[in-house]
Amino acid sequence: MWTELSATISSLAIAFFMFEKYLNYFPYTIRGYVERNFRKVVNFVNPYVEISFHEFTSERLKRSDAFFAIQNYLSTSSTENARRLKADVVKDSQSVVLSMDAKEEVADVFNGVKVWWASGKMPPQSKSISWFPGSEEKRYYKLTFHKHYREIITKSYVEHVLKKGKEIEVKNRQRMLYTNNPSNDWHGWKSTKWGNIVFEHPSTFDTLAMDTAKKEEIKKDLIKFSKGKDYYAKIGKAWKRGYLLYGPPGTGKSSMIAAMANLLDYDVYDLELTTIKDNSELRMLLIETKGKSIIVRERKGRRKMMMKQTEKDPISKMKKEAEEESGSGSKVTLSGLLNVIDGIWSACGGERIIIFTTNYVDKLDPALIRRGRMDKHIVMSYCCFEAFKVLARNYLDIESHELFGKIEELFVEAKMSPADVADNLMPKSDEQDEETCLKRLVEALEASKEEAIKKSEEEAVLKTKDGVVTEG
């Protein structure tokens, strides 16, 4: 078939060449007539239809999504057939994606219909220097098929190729962690509002230590959201979901966000509000975010700061922190952020998740935590025995130990964050075996239990005193 196709195309090319060359020998009056009829005959004889997909759209600046979808689609079939392939390294330099090199051809079969793909490059049209990307050479793919199958190819096959290509792109794409640049640095046409690095956080739902039922519920909720395109369209709601994660420091809020991004294969945008001047700058930033992303507003460096502060002047410092948390420390208020999000999200296509994390849910602006704005509230709490078992598996590779019984008992009263449990479980040197690490944890839990008992006794004394005063 391929030989037949090439023979037909080459004879037609020769016929065209001869025709163009000798057209001028015809008298001017009949030249148009001859040309029209010649083309009719050619079209009648040539049974093949060609469609070109160019790298750049007609607006020139924009790269065509279809071109890249086709490139991805062909990367799977062309690797078997094409003789010259181009290699691109993706995903932390571990996997290689092969695609057809220029001037290569491959065949594909769809519902029993054979088609041919050829890749090519168009030479630059002028020698002048251009600012447009890729203006030196323009790549394209040409699809050739028998005109008899025009309907099935132009409708079903092209749609199939684009869909599959996009799926492959999602699978191969390298996820990014974006952080907003201070708005003072946004000058010039080249400035970018978001700086980015490759997102490679190892946290997953498997490594996350928390109540299993709660974990499964969150996973289900996320997957339902990510597959809910039609549902959101049906109910006329923007495809977005808000999560509020709250709990003491070191309970795994940031780890949970990373696990969510890893589960859904989303990019993460880490929003630093303090470097944004006002709400209009915030709007500009959010408009630049892409679909399939998680936008996060977190308080950073909380753990160390909190620990130091509680040691010194616990009450006044904790109050100050809570005030900051409510947004008064930022140039952009949290309510302002929510209003911008409500506004732009209705207009931006593509799914987006926004996550707020806080250590003080009670002190937050009620407008922020009102249901509907943040669709799901997730409490990250102190470590329990079930969560400990996940950490023991992660850090020590053990499922059980004779000390587990004692540890389970201690967890009833001891309050320790998963971060601190993990810290105790981690061997500090090669000599430290699982027994040493578990014993260290038992000691820490006992200390924490004693502290909890002392605290509750002190609180009880305070309550009794209050009672006496009131009664008196």
Ligand X SMILES: Nc1ncnc2c1ncn2[C@@H]1O[C@H](COP(=O)(O)OP(=O)(O)OP(=O)(O)O)[C@@H](O)[C@H]1O
The residues of the shown chain that bind Mg ion, judged by CB under 5 A, are 253-254
- Smallest gap, in angstroms, from Cβ of residue 418 to ligand X? 3
Tell me the two tokens of residue 182.
Answer: 């201070």
Axis crossing angle, helix 253-264 with helix 212-226, rounded to the nearest 10: 40
10 Å CB burial of residue 71 (0-12, 13-18, 19+) is: buried
Axis crossing angle, helix 334-347 with helix 279-287, rounded to the nearest 10: 40
Are 122 and 154 in contact by the 8 Å Cβ rule? The answer is no
For residue 177, give the nearest of 195, 193, 199 by alpha carbon. Answer: 199
Question: Considering the rule CB under 6 A, would residue 252 count as an interface residue with ligand X?
Answer: yes
What is the torsion angle, in degrees rounded to the nearest 10, for the CA atoms of residue 153, residue 157, residue 161 and residue 162? 80
- 175, 193, 241, 253: which one contacts ligand X (CB under 6 A)? 253
Q: Report the residue number whose CB is nearest to ligand X.
A: 252
Q: How far apart are CA 453 and CA 427, in angstroms?
A: 29
Given ligand X, Mg ion, none, residue 119, with its beta carbon under 5 to 8 Å by kind, binds none
Tell me the two tokens of residue 238.
Answer: 């923007």
Q: Which stretch binds ligand X (CB under 6 A): 53-61, 105-113, 248-256, 424-432?
A: 248-256
Q: How far apart are CA 121 and CA 119, in angstroms?
A: 7
- Smallest gap, in angstroms, from Cβ of residue 400 to ligand X? 19
CB closer to ligand X out of 250 and 336: 250
- 67, 418, 424, 448: which one contacts ligand X (CB under 6 A)? 418
The site for ligand X, by CB under 6 A, has a size of: 18
CB closer to Mg ion out of 296 and 344: 296
Q: Which stretch binds ligand X (CB under 6 A): 38-46, 163-171, 249-257, 329-337?
A: 249-257
Given Mg ion, ligand X, none, residue 142, with its beta carbon under 5 to 8 Å by kind, binds none
Given Mg ion, ligand X, none, residue 210, with its beta carbon under 5 to 8 Å by kind, binds ligand X
CB closer to Mg ion out of 100 and 259: 259
Quickly count: other Cβ atoms within 10 Å of residue 278's Cβ: 11
Q: Phi-psi category of 188—alpha, beta or left, where left has phi over 0 and alpha has psi -120 to 50?
A: left
For residue 455, give the nearest of 310, 308, 321 by alpha carbon. Answer: 310
- Smallest gap, in angstroms, from Cβ of residue 406 to Mg ion? 30
Given ligand X, Mg ion, none, residue 303, with its beta carbon under 5 to 8 Å by kind, binds ligand X
For residue 57, give the nearest of 49, 44, 69, 66 by alpha carbon. Answer: 66
Question: Considering the rule CB under 6 A, would residue 359 count as an interface residue with ligand X?
Answer: yes
Burial 15-40 (b: 16+ CB within 10 A, else e): eeeeeeeeeeeeeeeeeeeeeeeeee
Phi/psi of residue 456, nearest 5 degrees: -70, -30
- Smallest gap, in angstroms, from Cβ of residue 219 to ligand X? 14
- Smallest gap, in angstroms, from Cβ of residue 308 to ligand X? 13
- Smallest gap, in angstroms, from Cβ of residue 268 to ligand X? 13
Site string for ligand X, 276-315 (x = CB under 6 A): --------------------------xx------------
CB closer to ligand X out of 70 and 257: 257
Given ligand X, Mg ion, none, residue 419, with its beta carbon under 5 to 8 Å by kind, binds ligand X
10 Å CB burial of residue 388 (0-12, 13-18, 19+) is: buried
- Smallest gap, in angstroms, from Cβ of residue 398 to ligand X? 16
Q: How far apart are CA 340 and CA 373, in angstroms?
A: 12
- Smallest gap, in angstroms, from Cβ of residue 363 to ligand X? 14
- Smallest gap, in angstroms, from Cβ of residue 256 to Mg ion? 9
Tell which positions 196-215 bind ligand X, by CB under 6 A: 207-210
- 332, 422, 425, 438: which one contacts ligand X (CB under 6 A)? 422
Question: Considering the rule CB under 6 A, would residue 330 count as an interface residue with ligand X?
Answer: no
Residues that bind ligand X (CB under 6 A): 207-210, 249-255, 302-303, 359, 380, 418-419, 422
